[in-house]
């Protein structure tokens, strides 16, 4: 299922044309932080699509190429006749210069990477209130040698004469640095100037406007029909449950499949919370026996994931048939799921990156594509931080809004080798201790994930007068921005000591606690 941007009710005020920069998504987030709605489209987006969307401004992203390289990505040169403001960032600026009659060349010997003070020559328009000498983040091998006709310089750095350029009449602007990254001290001032002063956008992308529109759209889409949602307890599906409950009340059924691999107390918490406290219809499916028996004797991690995934789909199909019929299936797909898993797969008609899978590669618990449901995906244009705001605004408690990510196959992938009930009980207890102590120390929100892993090897220990021969527990705590890379968290020794003492004393079957001090890469966050 693929939604076209052209079908969306809400049109982007700013379109970011992506030339392959790792920061394109970040530019979109920064624009949205100014309460202005933005979307990322491919550089190859046909100009007709842009006309139909009629954004108030375009931002051309950076990119790894040089404008003179063979096969360098170029946009339709008609965009310069659309009559809308354009901001080119690094490669985007070079392309602007190149296509409009100026010159770009390799900045031999003088390439500027990293932080550089920006000296403002013209403190108006794009650079209004941008402090002279503030640090911006440079990253480029090329630079502008001669400006296109009617362009002038607005700022320079020590090594880059044309660091900010403009044709103010046509409202074309170019910057030779990345205003979107945090290292650019005044980057947000510049982005605000572009979206508000130059493009004339309104601050109308807020949590309240999103919720109002989403409620309306869901009601229009669904009418009086029934909707099914697979609730996991993560922030995405929980926010979705709240949003849909508000939109369509009892037409929503949440199915919560307990495969037996949840954290301690989680199934009880979820059913109490959604069903009893908020009167959201939750069907609790106890499928513990089914899952554990399927995993008997299975030690290979990939095989485990596959079995769990397949079984999940089976249970889901059986139970939805029993509880149904349902017309719609609600999914907590987010914008990064769509654009990241899409990669370079672009719809030639609209320039949108098209998701190849419904959810990102990791998501066991993802459902097959050939289900007989129509999809409801009201969060599909939101970034994670926006989902959190929406969830909070709908009344989700911080406990859910800010909880650590938890993998779909749950504790089953945190037990190495064969999964048994005995190991699950042991890991559940150890995991609770890790999380409790991290919470008590006030560190929960500084950490990306904190959990325990059970290794199926025994080592010798001594307890009282008795020799023990039992499993070790690994404590894994990482800090990360997005889970793609991570560093191990440098927890205070006192906390580690508490965790270790409590685990060996309180958890049966464990006589040793070890700490994982591997970053990602080369390690992964989970052990599997
Ligand atoms: P790794 O272990 O690959 O994990 O470094 C990166 C992030 O993804 C989470 N993860 C999953 N999330 N379903 C999910 O929804 C899964 O099957 C899954 N496996 C790993 C992991 O917890 C970490 O945050």
The single residue listed with the structure tokens 């106890």 is 286
Please tell me the predicted confidence (pLDDT) of residue 314. Answer: 94
**What phi, psi does 279 have (nearest 5°)?**
60, 30
Three-state secondary structure along 286-339? ECHHHHHHHCCCCCCHHHHHHHHHHHHHHHHHHHHHHHCCCCEEECCCCHHHHH
Q: What is the DSSP string of 83-108?
A: -S-EEEETHHHHHHHHHTT-EEEE-T
Task: Give the residue from 404, 426, 417 showing the smallest Cα distance to 477.
Answer: 404
Residue 299 contacts residue 290 (beta carbons within 8 Å): no
- Pocket mutation for ligand 1, best pick of 407, 413, 447 (most atoms within 8 Å of C-beta): 407
* The CATH number, out of the four listed (3.20.20.70, 3.40.50.880, 3.40.50.800, 3.40.50.300), of the domain defined by the range 5-198: 3.40.50.880
Lowest mean pLDDT among 4-8, 184-188, 239-243: 4-8
How crowded is the C-beta side of 475, counted as CA atoms within 13 Å? 27
- Given 112, 180, 311, 386, which residue is catalytic? 180
Give me the DSSP letters along 447-502: -SEEEEEE-S--EEEEETTEEEEEEEEEEEEEE-SSSSSBEE----HHHHHHHHHH
β-partners of residue 257 are 285
Mean pLDDT of all residues in 468-487: 94
Q: Rounded distance, CA 12 to CA 133, Å?
A: 33
Q: What is the pLDDT of residues 481-520, one digit of tens each?
A: 888 899 999 999 999 999 999 999 999 999 999 999 999 9
Predicted local distance difference test score (pLDDT) of residue 139: 82
Q: What is the pTM of this model?
A: 0.89
Q: Is the pLDDT of residue 2 over 80?
A: no
Tokens of 30: 């920064």
pLDDT of residue 384: 92
**Is 254 one of the annotated active-site residues of the chain?**
no
Instruction: Dump pLDDT digits (tens) for 31-84.
Output: 999 999 999 999 999 999 999 999 999 999 999 889 999 999 999 999 999 999
Q: Number of helices (H) and strands (E) in the chain: give both, helices first.
A: 14, 21
**Nearest alpha-carbon partner for 50 in 63, 39, 36:** 39
Residue of 140, 141, 211, 191 whose CA lies nearest to 16? 191
Percentage of the chain lying above the pLDDT 70 cut: 94
pLDDT in tens, 62-75: 998 899 999 999 99
Q: Over range 377-398, report the average pLDDT.
A: 95
Residue with tokens 């210069």: 97
Copy the structure tokens of residue 488.
């191990």
Distant-in-sequence, close-in-space partners of 176: CB < 8 Å, separation ≥ 6:
90, 93, 112, 138, 140, 143, 144, 157, 160, 162, 163, 164
Is residue 75 part of the annotated active site? The answer reads no
Quick check: is 178 catalytic?
Answer: yes
3-state secondary structure of 426: helix
> What span, in angstroms and rounded, lies between the C-alpha atoms of 213 and 458?
56
**Is 254 within 8 Å of 331 (Cβ atoms)?**
no
pLDDT (mean) for 416-445: 98
Say if ligand 1 is within 6 A of residue 411 CB: no
Q: What is the CA angle 289-290-296, rounded to 5?
A: 85
What mean pLDDT value characterizes the chain? 92
**Residue 520 CB–ligand 1 contact under 6 Å:** yes
Q: What is the mean pLDDT of residues 130-134?
A: 97
| Whether 328 contacts 253, CB under 8 Å | no
Q: What is the pLDDT of residues 87-117, one digit of tens each?
A: 999 999 999 999 999 999 987 666 678 899 9
Is 308's C-beta closer than 6 angstroms to any atom of ligand 1?
A: no
Give me the phi and psi of 14, to 5 degrees please: -125, 130
Residues 6+ away with beta carbon under 8 Å from 380: 3, 333, 334, 335, 337, 338
**Is the shortest distance between the CB of 409 and ligand 1 below 6 Å?**
yes
Determine the pLDDT at residue 357: 41
Nearest CA to ligand 1 atom 11: 407
Average pLDDT (424-444) is 98
Cβ-count burial 153-165 (b if 16+ within 10 Å, e if not) = ebbbbeebbbbbb
Provide mean pLDDT across the span 420-444: 98
- Pick one of 1.10.3720.10, 3.10.20.30, 3.30.70.20, 3.40.50.620 as the CATH number of 207-401: 3.40.50.620
pLDDT at 1 over 70: no
Please identify, by atom number, the ligand 1 atom nearest to the C-alpha of residue 449.
24
| Ligand 1 centroid to residue 413 C-alpha, Å | 10
Strands 57-60, 86-89: pairing kind = parallel
**Which of 91, 135, 89, 137 has the alpha carbon at shortest distance from 114?**
137
Catalytic residue among 94, 98, 140, 178: 178
- Given a cut of 70, whether residue 358 has pLDDT beyond it is no
Domain boundaries, the chain: 5-198, 207-401, 420-515
| Per-residue pLDDT reduced to its tens digit, 297-346 | 999 999 999 999 999 999 999 999 999 899 999 999 999 888 765 555 67
Give the integer Cα–Cα distance in Å for 257 and 319: 9
**Is residue 309 lining ligand 1, measured as CB closer than 6 Å?**
no
Query: How far is Cα 14 from Cα 9, in angstroms, rounded to an integer?
Result: 15
pLDDT computed for residue 359 by the predictor = 36
pLDDT for the residue numbered 361: 39
Residue 141 has what pLDDT? Answer: 82
**How many other CB atoms are there within 10 angstroms of residue 7's CB atom?**
8
Tokens read off for 187: 């980057």
Digit-coded pLDDT (tens) for 234-290: 999 999 999 999 999 999 999 999 999 999 999 999 989 998 889 999 999 999 999
Angle of the 384-393 helix axis to the 235-248 helix axis, nearest 10: 50
Ligand 1 pocket test target in 235, 340, 405, 415 with most atoms within 8 Å of CB: 405
Please say if the pLDDT value at position 362 is more than 50: no
CA distances from 181 to 20, 113, 136, 177, 187 (A): 16, 13, 9, 9, 7
Q: Which CATH class is domain 420-515?
A: alpha beta
Q: What is the mean pLDDT of residues 205-227?
A: 97
Confidence class for position 366, pLDDT limits 50, 70, 90: low
Q: Is the CB of 404 under 6 A from ligand 1?
A: no
Rounded distance from Cα 40 to ligand 1 centre (Å): 25
Banded model confidence at residue 364, pLDDT cuts 50, 70, 90 = very low
* DSSP-derived pairing of the beta strands 164-167 and 134-139: unpaired
Residue range 347-356: average pLDDT? 64
Do the domains 5-198 and 207-401 sit in the same CATH topology, yes or no? yes
């Amino acid at each position: 299922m693929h939604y076209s941007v052209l079908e969306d009710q809400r049109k982007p005020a700013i379109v970011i044309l992506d030339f392959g920069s790792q920061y394109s998504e970040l530019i979109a987030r920064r624009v949205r932080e100014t309460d202005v709605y933005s979307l990322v489209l491919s550089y190859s987006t046909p100009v007709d699509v842009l006309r139909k969307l009629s954004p108030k401004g375009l931002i051309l992203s950076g990119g790894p190429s040089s404008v003179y390289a063979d096969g360098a990505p170029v946009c339709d040169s008609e965009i310069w006749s659309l009559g809308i403001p354009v901001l080119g960032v690094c490669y985007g600026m070079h392309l602007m210069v190149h296509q409009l009659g100026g010159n770009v060349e390799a900045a031999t010997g003088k390439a500027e990477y990293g932080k550089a003070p920006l000296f403002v020559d013209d403190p108006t328009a794009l650079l209004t209130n941008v402090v002279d000498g503030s640090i911006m983040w440079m990253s480029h091998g090329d630079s502008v040698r001669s400006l296109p006709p009617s362009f002038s310089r607005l700022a320079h750095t020590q090594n880059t004469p044309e660091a900010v350029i403009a044709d103010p009449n046509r409202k074309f602007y170019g910057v030779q640095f990345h205003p979107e990254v945090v290292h650019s001290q005044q980057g947000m001032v510049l982005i605000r100037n572009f979206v508000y002063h130059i493009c004339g956008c309104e601050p109308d992308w807020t949590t309240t406007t999103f919720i109002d529109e989403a409620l309306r759209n869901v009601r229009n889409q669904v009418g009086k029909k029934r909707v099914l949602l697979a609730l996991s307890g993560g922030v995405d599906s929980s926010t979705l449950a709240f949003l849909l409950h508000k939109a369509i009340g009892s037409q929503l059924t949440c199915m919560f499949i307990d495969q037996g691999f949840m954290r301690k107390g989680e199934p009880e918490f979820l059913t109490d919370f959604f069903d009893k406290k908020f009167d959201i219809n939750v069907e609790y499916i106890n499928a513990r026996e089914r899952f554990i028996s399927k995993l008997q004797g299975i030690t290979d991690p990939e095989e485990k994931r596959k079995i769990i995934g397949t079984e999940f789909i089976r249970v889901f199909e059986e139970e939805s048939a029993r509880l149904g019929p349902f017309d719609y299936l609600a999914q907590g797909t987010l914008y990064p799921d769509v654009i990241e898993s899409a990669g370079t797969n672009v719809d030639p008609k609209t320039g949108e990156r098209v998701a190849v899978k419904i959810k990102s590669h990791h998501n066991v618990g993802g459902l097959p594509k050939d289900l007989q449901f129509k999809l409801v995906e009201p969060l599909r244009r939101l970034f994670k931080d926006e989902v959190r705001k929406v969830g909070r605004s709908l009344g989700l408690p911080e406990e859910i809004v800010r909880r650590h990510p938890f993998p779909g196959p749950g504790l089953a992938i945190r037990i190495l080798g064969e999964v048994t009930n005995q190991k699950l009980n042991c890991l559940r207890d150890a995991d609770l201790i890790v999380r409790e102590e991290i919470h008590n120390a006030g560190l929960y929100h500084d950490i990306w994930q904190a959990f325990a892993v059970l290794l199926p090897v025994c080592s010798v220990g001594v307890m009282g007068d008795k020799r023990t021969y039992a499993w070790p527990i690994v404590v894994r705590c990482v800090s990360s921005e997005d889970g793609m890379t991570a560093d191990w968290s440098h927890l205070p020794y006192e906390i580690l000591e508490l965790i270790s003492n409590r685990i060996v004393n309180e958890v049966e079957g464990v006589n040793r606690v070890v700490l994982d001090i591997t970053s990602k890469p080369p390690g992964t966050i989970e052990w599997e």
